[in-house]
């Protein structure tokens, strides 16, 4: 009898000790915390009070972060978490390499895009459905050459949210210091699919010096997410050139680098006189403003 009582006492002691010192289970919600020194930590909160946050991370285990050192603390939406890994948001969901799709910038959201150093574009969402952009090609840096500048307003309408969007806009340009040098294109585009995976069909008409092109420019583009940081992009054009016709086919990739995106690929002209010349593409996009 004494042995049974001793066994029960030891069992209760061990059980109570495990309950006393057991670590609380982390919250299931993924949180990203940015600190004043520029570091970012992603994990699940074990406990939090006025002085600190205790976070369980995959690589570092349990860490404590002082509240006074936290710049931002944001919940990561569940749709961005796949198989326990974060799929970073697309920093350039409104465009492929260069051509726009039916999605638009949200109010307060913007981006800067650079293509081969010379093409410098900034766009900003005025409302959730309308954005405005400006572009400069600073040729004045080369012996004072004439410098083209553009404005590009865009209207985006979600017909079926995250499934079918339509957009319309223009790219209107001129050359600084020259009169009667207006040119550009107006376009409409339909996009089918989500911001991460979609295809678009677009139609545009070019204009210059008060006249309009007699044939349209037809565009077919696609964006397909491959992993947390990689996309496959394709952007293709068909156009009439006088009595002939031609086009451009393209394939490449988008690589997400933290909050920015690097685009690269090859553009191949096609047509009777196009030859076999592949043109490399290199672009870089940095979002700003309301990027949550």
3-state secondary structure of 265: strand
Locate CATH 2.40.160.40 in the chain: 109-289
Nearest-angstrom CA–CA distance, 146 and 143? 9
Tell me what pLDDT residue 11 has. Answer: 47
Q: Are 103 and 195 in contact (CB under 8 A)?
A: yes
pLDDT at site 82: 77
SS3 of 112, please?
A: strand
Beta-bridge partners for 54? 47, 64
CA distance 156 to 166: 6
Q: Which of 90, 105, 98 is nearest to 119 (CA)?
A: 98
Give CA–CA dist 7/9, Å, rounded. 5
Q: Tell which residue, 190, 154, 146, 155, has the closest CA to residue 172.
A: 154
Question: Could you tell me which CATH class the domain 109-289 is placed in?
Answer: mainly beta
Helix (H, G, I), strand (E, B) or coil at 244: strand
How much is the pLDDT for 39? 85
Bridge partners for 241 per DSSP: 244
Q: Alpha carbon 130 to chain centroid distance?
A: 18
Rounded CA separation 178/148 (Å): 10
pLDDT value of position 218 = 95
What pLDDT is attached to residue 19? 44
Phi and psi of 3, rounded to 5°? -65, -40
Task: Give the distance from CA 194 to its chain's centroid.
Answer: 12
Residue-by-residue DSSP string for 180-244: T-EEEEEEEEEEEE-SSSEEEEEEEEEEETTEE-SS-EEEEEEEEE-SSSEEEEEEEEEEEETTE
Q: Cite the residue boundaries of each domain of the chain with CATH code 2.30.30.100.
A: 2-86
State residue 20's pLDDT score: 42
User: 222: closest CA among 230, 231, 211, 213?
Assistant: 231
Q: Give which of 244, 243, 260, 261 is closest to 252, Cα–Cα.
A: 261
Q: Tell me the three state secondary structure of residue 20.
A: helix
Q: Residue length, the chain?
A: 292
Instruction: From first to last of the 292 residues of the chain, give the pLDDT tens digit.
Output: 555 555 544 545 445 444 444 445 555 678 888 898 888 888 888 888 888 899 888 778 888 898 898 988 888 877 777 776 778 788 899 999 999 999 999 999 999 999 999 999 999 999 999 999 999 999 887 777 889 999 999 999 999 999 999 999 999 999 987 877 899 999 999 999 999 999 999 999 999 988 998 889 999 999 999 998 999 999 999 987 656 678 999 999 999 997 899 999 999 988 766 667 889 999 999 999 876 5
Decide: residue 171, CB within 10 A, 0-12 exposed, 13-18 middle, 19+ buried: buried
Question: Closest by alpha carbon to 94, among 291, 280, 274, 244?
Answer: 291
209 sits in the region (left: phi over 0; alpha: psi -120 to 50; else beta) called left
The correct answer on CATH 2.30.30.100 for the domain covering 2-86 is yes
Question: SS3 helix, strand, coil % of the chain, rounded to 5?
Answer: 10, 55, 35
What is the structure's pLDDT at 16? Answer: 47
């Amino acid at each position: 009898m004494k042995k049974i009582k001793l066994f029960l006492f030891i069992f209760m002691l061990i059980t109570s000790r495990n309950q006393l010192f057991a670590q609380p289970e982390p919250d299931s919600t993924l949180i990203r915390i940015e600190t004043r020194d520029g570091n970012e930590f992603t994990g699940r909160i074990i406990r939090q009070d006025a002085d600190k946050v205790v976070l369980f991370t995959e690589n570092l285990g349990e860490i404590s972060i002082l509240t006074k050192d936290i710049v931002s603390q944001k919940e990561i939406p569940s749709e961005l978490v796949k198989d326990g890994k974060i799929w970073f948001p697309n920093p350039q969901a409104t465009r492929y390499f260069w051509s726009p799709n039916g999605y638009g910038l949200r109010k307060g959201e913007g981006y800067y895009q650079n293509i081969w150093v010379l093409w410098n574009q900034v766009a900003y969402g005025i409302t959730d459905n309308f954005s405005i952009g400006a572009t400069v090609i600073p040729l004045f840096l080369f012996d004072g050459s004439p410098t083209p500048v553009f404005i590009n307003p865009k209207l985006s309408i979600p017909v079926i949210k995250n499934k079918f969007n339509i957009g319309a806009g223009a790219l209107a340009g001129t050359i600084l210091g020259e009169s009667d040098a207006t040119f550009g294109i107006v376009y409409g585009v339909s996009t089918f699919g989500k911001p991460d995976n979609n295809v678009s069909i677009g139609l545009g008409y070019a204009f210059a010096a008060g006249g309009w092109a007699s044939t349209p420019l037809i565009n077919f583009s696609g964006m397909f997410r491959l992993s947390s940081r990689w996309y496959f992009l394709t952007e293709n054009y068909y156009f009439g050139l006088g009595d002939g016709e031609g086009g451009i086919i393209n394939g490449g990739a988008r690589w997400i680098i933290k909050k920015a995106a690097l685009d690269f690929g090859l553009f191949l002209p096609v047509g009777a006189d196009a030859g076999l010349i592949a043109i490399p593409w290199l672009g870089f996009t940095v979002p700003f403003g309301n990027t949550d």
